[in-house]
Chains A and B, each alone.
Chain A
Amino acid sequence: MADAALELLTEQVRAAHADKTPLNICGGNTKAFYGEAPRGQTLDVRALRGISSYEPSELVVTVRAGTPLAELEAVLAEQGQCLAFEPPRFGPTSTVGGMVSAGLAGPSRAAAGGVRDHVLGATLLNGRGELMSFGGQVMKNVAGYDVSRLLVGAMGVLGLVCELSLKVLPLATASATLRFELDEEEALRRLNTWGGQPLPVNASAWWNGMLVLRLSGAAAAVQSAVARLGGELVDPALAASFWAGLRDHRDEFFTSAQVAVAGGATLWRLSLPQTAPATALPGEHLVEWGGAQRWVTTTASGATLRELAQRLGGHATAFRGNKAGGALAPLSAPLARIHRNLKTAFDPEHIFNPGRLYADL
């Protein structure tokens, strides 16, 4: 069945290449809000569905791109394993292909690595409709350029991702969540100090005067860290629901942000060096990833956000709301040129997701 699905997609891509039809690659359609606005004829990849191979002792799963993320995570959980980077689920129909193409990771990102750190291989259709595989199912592989990781966060502009091999990890044997009443500066200071110590810190979130810290790892390590760090131990069920809500952007900060966005504000994602000082921007702030990811809901201008992020050594993404200045921060001249060349190298007629990453790609 699925092979017929791939043949059909291949035909559709080749036809689009021949008559230069723009295509909007679509899985569960839960992230249409992200990046620049989708354009082109919808190309539904959900027929490419199913887990092709999974051997827990290899720590690798190979899965077709249209497989719902929830389905994959359920299969992994049965074996006591997980996607360690906790990708956000913006809805029950989110797919694995969308997860990789958006390249977004959740609360554990700073400790566990991002999406690209867990991609081992990919099979894609390029803009000519050629089926090709890069990487593989092994952890160490330096044969040729690492094309599979280049697809992460590419928003589908380089090709149609058909299948992915992902590194999976065992679920932690123990975890605990602590809560501290702290202001933003003090929270950042503590997070960075703890980060330099051999502590099992796995996730952090500061919002509205409260720092929440998740420890996870061997039971002995979690216990000794709890004893050492102090703070208030959060009930495990409550903690689990808090982290899941944060991961999926359903918690109070993000639901309030959506309301503010509806009222004209913009939700910004600032990716900064984790030691960058607290930003004095007006609006609500949520600090994640030990300080490396800062969410700001604000009506301040895009230029203000971009200038600030750059000055602090990072970049700002207009996540939801007004994207008049571009969803992503602009690129330096040499990087922009390499982006354009790569787009043409993979997709000479620019049929895949035109303008979705940057307007000129």
Chain B
Amino acid sequence: MTAHTPAPARAEPAQSETTRAEPAQSDTPLAAPAQLDIKLAGPPPAERAARQAQVLAALAPLLPAHALLYRHEDTVPYECDGLTAYRQMPLLVALPETEGQVAAVLKACHGLGVPVVARGAGTGLSGGAMPHALGVTLSLAKFNQILKVDALARTADVQCGVRNLAISEAAAPLGLYYAPDPSSQIACTIGGNVAENSGGVHCLKYGLTLHNVLRVRGFTADGEAVEFGGHALDAPGLDLLAVLVGSEGMLAVTTEVTVKLCPKPQLARCIMASFDDMRQAGDAVAAIIAAGIIPAGLEMMDKPMTAAVEDFVHAGYDLDAAAILLCESDGTPEEVAEEIGRMEAVLRGCGATALTVSENEAQRLRFWSGRKNAFPASGRISPDYMCMDSTIPRKRLADILAAIAQMEIKYGLRCCNVFHAGDGNLHPLILFDANDPDQMHRCELFGADILETSVAMGGTVTGEHGVGVEKLSSMCVQFSAAEREQMLAIKRAFDPAGGLNPGKVIPTLQRCAEYGRMHVKKGLLPFAELERF
């Protein structure tokens, strides 16, 4: 769950590639109070001060003076990432400028047993970059160089702090682009994308970060240089790159990434389709796929969401529709014409009450403007909202919508729904008022209910935002004790001392026992009789 204040500028302002080191959310009011404002208890002041002095003494010889922040006013901008409800002051913040400095900081911290939390732009939505109370936050913002764009090989070698969108901008003159496009792409960095396995609206056709990264260079927890993958399509031995991507900074520190670039499609067109029944819209999503079409994007908004965004962007959405689908085709003009024709036929056959196909780029972007502004639009109609991120099998779209409608009654709160429908990735936005403790409480229960219902439907608690600290408890529902222990063992295989981003992603046995909810069996194998520990 990601709680937001209504401030629409949730994505951080674009940072210059060269200078901006500090995170940019200090301008966002931190208004989420009560239970959700989890300002985590730190260590006793004397203990903290002693430890800080010790770590400072160890790191000061390794970095220029300006690259080490420890005064309260300097480190407070780092107390949270995009999940502003969870905050923790770091012991200190290191901003290395060279790989040698990264290695030296890691070695020193490893020697002292100090936790290290790597950080990119701080736009993550699950608290993956939230500091450790007795740890060093390792800001990699200064690693902001695009090292090489190879037009012939269709690859780019970039430092970890380069913004996602900056890669596509650098590749554009060559007719190439980097495909994964998370909505924060103006600000988020490629290193953070690797940590989170970020998606976007085009990943059904073009894949996630995992599918578009060839190589990661970085450092192990004890400061040894290491390279995962390579410039070829595979590497010898175990596919460590596959497990590193999405590991939320717990296995190694990324400093350099080689990404694949794709030829820019000549043309993209988008269909906006209205449905007067949610189930029909859900069925239409399945029917498109069943017809053998992989759309470049396939997104859905329900009626309350459509009303909220129309009021915000005036894109001309059908306000009478129970659901709106946006279905995009890209490729050569001939391909797009053929595919749009097939998509229209399927959508009509599924009972679409209105269809509009974008006639030009301006109209296409207008269709998308509402979808892309769903979060700020929700902020305008409610004091606060909480964004969920579960994924379910596509065929259960209508079922989960019905279940969410029931939950709205049960918890007495409204919910707007916007989905990456093609991937089954839901972003229900629960509307609430954080100043009302009872609403806060009901909102939390509502969110947990959506996650658990998603797991029970064969889905997952997080599709693209990550576990971080936010969904630790939900991991107890999705994974058995043995599965969680196996993941902790993977962590130890990469980082035996447990110094990298400790306490994130994989909950301990004790935490799950305290959470007190049973692991929901995923039913991949119908072996109910087997013990699952």
What is the 8 Å Cβ interface bit string for chain B, positions 418-438, against chain A (1 contact, 0 not)? Answer: 001001110000000000000
Give the residues in chain A near B292, CB-CB below 8 Å.
Answer: 80-81, 170-171, 173
In the complex, which residues of chain B have a beta carbon less than 8 angstroms from the beta carbon of A197? 175, 263
Interface membership of chain B positions 138-178, coded 1 if the CB is closer than 8 angstroms to chain A and 0 otherwise: 00000000000011111100000000000000000011100
Name the CB-closest residue of B to A310.
B230
A60 within 8 A of B: yes
- Which of B287, B480, B490, B506 neighbours the largest number of chain A CB atoms within 10 Å of its CB? B490
**Residue from A149, A224, A328, A346 in contact with B236 in the complex, judged by beta carbons closer than 8 Å:** A328
Confirm or deny: B379 has a beta carbon within 8 angstroms of a beta carbon on chain A: no
Q: Distance in Å from the Cβ of A71 to the closest Cβ of chain B?
A: 19
Residue from the list B246, B335, B496 in contact with A341, Cβ < 8 A: B496
Stretch at the interface among B13-21, B440-448, B464-472: B464-472
A162 interface residue, CB < 8 Å from B? yes
Contacts of B460 in A (CB 8 A): 136, 138, 140-143
Interface check A163, CB cutoff 8 A: yes
How close is A85's CB to chain B, nearest CB, in angstroms?
11
Q: Are B423 and A331 in contact (CB under 8 A)?
A: no
Q: Which of B154, B197, B490 contacts A342 (CB 8 A)?
A: B490
Question: Shortest CB–CB separation between residue B520 and chain A, in angstroms?
Answer: 12
Given contacts A110-B233, A133-B522, contact A143 B394 (CB under 8 A): no
Q: Which of B479-517 contact A (CB under 8 A)?
A: 479-480, 482-484, 486-487, 489-494, 496, 505-506
Q: Are B335 and A221 in contact (CB-based, < 8 A)?
A: yes
- Hey, which chain A residues are within 8 Å of B522, CB to CB? 133, 136
Given the known A-B contacts A193-B152, A196-B152, A341-B494, are A218 and B239 also in contact in the complex, defined by CB atoms under 8 Å?
A: no
Within 8 A of B (CB), among A77-114: 80-81, 103, 109-110, 113-114
Interface residues on A, range: 35 or more
Q: CA A80 – CA B289 in complex, angstroms?
A: 12
Q: What are the residues of chain B within 8 A of A152 when measuring CB–CB?
A: 239, 242
> Dominant SS at the A interface?
mixed
Whether the Cβ atoms of A142 and B466 lie closer than 8 Å is yes
The yes or no answer to A204 lying at the interface (CB within 8 A) is no
Q: Is B235 an interface residue (CB 8 A)?
A: yes
Question: With A and B bound together, what is the CA distance between A323 and B239 in angstroms?
Answer: 21
Say yes or no: is B380 at the interface (Cβ < 8 Å to chain A). Answer: no
Measured between beta carbons, the chain A residues less than 8 angstroms from B392 are 138
The answer to whether A334 and B525 touch across the interface, beta carbons within 8 angstroms, is no
Any chain A CB within 8 A of the CB of B532?
Answer: yes
Q: Is B461 on the interface with A (CB-CB < 8 A)?
A: yes
- Asked if A230 is at the interface of the complex by the 8 Å CB criterion, the answer is no
Interface residue B409 (Cβ < 8 Å from any Cβ of A): no
Chain A proximity mask over B173-205: 1 for CB below 8 Å, otherwise 0: 011100000000000000000001101000110
With A6-B525, A136-B460 in contact, do A218 and B483 touch (Cβ < 8 Å)?
Answer: no
A144 with B238, Cβ < 8 A, contacts A218-B334, A342-B493 known: no
Contact residues on B (Cβ < 8 Å of other chain), bracket: 35 or more
Contact A52 B525 (CB under 8 A): yes
Per-residue contact bits, chain B 276-298, to A (CB 8 Å; 1 contact, 0 not): 00000000001101101110000
Q: Are A224 and B332 CB-contacts (below 8 A) given A57-B287, A57-B290?
A: yes
A196 contacts B151, C-beta separation under 8 Å = yes
Contact status B239-A149, CB under 8 Å:
yes
The answer on a CB contact under 8 Å between B339 and A137 is no
A residues near B40, Cβ cutoff 8 Å: none
Bound form: Cα–Cα A10–B263 in Å? 48
Contact of B226 among A60, A126, A220, A334 (CB under 8 A): A334
Q: Is the CB of A293 within 8 A of B263?
A: no
A346 to B251, CA, bound (A): 16
Asked if B331 is at the interface (CB within 8 A of a chain A CB), the reply is yes
Q: Which of A160-211 contact B (CB under 8 A)?
A: 162-163, 165, 169-171, 173, 192-193, 195-199
CB of B75 within 8 Å of the partner chain: no
Q: Which one, A62, A134, A139, contacts B483 given CB within 8 A?
A: A134
Q: How far is the CB of B216 from chain A (nearest CB, A)?
A: 12
Question: How far, in angstroms, from A192 to B492 measured CA to CA in the complex?
Answer: 41
Question: Is B134 an interface residue, CB under 8 A from the partner?
Answer: no
In the bound assembly, the distance between CA atoms of A130 and B533 in angstroms comes to: 9
CB <8 Å contact, B493 and A345: yes
A286 close to B (CB within 8 Å):
no
What residues make up the interface of B, taking CB atoms closer than 8 Å to A? Answer: 150-155, 174-176, 196-197, 199, 203-204, 207-208, 210-211, 220, 224-228, 230-240, 242-243, 245-247, 251, 263-266, 286-287, 289-290, 292-294, 331-332, 334-335, 337-339, 391-395, 420, 423-425, 458-467, 471, 474-475, 478-480, 482-484, 486-487, 489-494, 496, 505-506, 522, 524-527, 529-530, 532-533
Closest 10 interchain pairs by CB?
A220-B334, A170-B292, A341-B493, A345-B489, A149-B242, A140-B463, A314-B232, A57-B286, A57-B290, A273-B231
Cross-chain pairs A/B with CB under 8 angstroms, 21 sampled: A60-B393, A81-B292, A131-B530, A133-B522, A142-B466, A144-B506, A145-B490, A147-B490, A150-B242, A153-B239, A170-B293, A170-B294, A196-B152, A197-B175, A198-B265, A218-B331, A272-B232, A273-B231, A274-B153, A328-B236, A341-B493
- Beyond A62-B524, A138-B392, A192-B154, 15 additional contacts (C-beta under 8 Å) are A56-B290, A109-B233, A110-B233, A123-B524, A126-B486, A131-B527, A138-B459, A171-B292, A192-B153, A217-B331, A221-B335, A313-B230, A315-B235, A328-B237, A339-B237
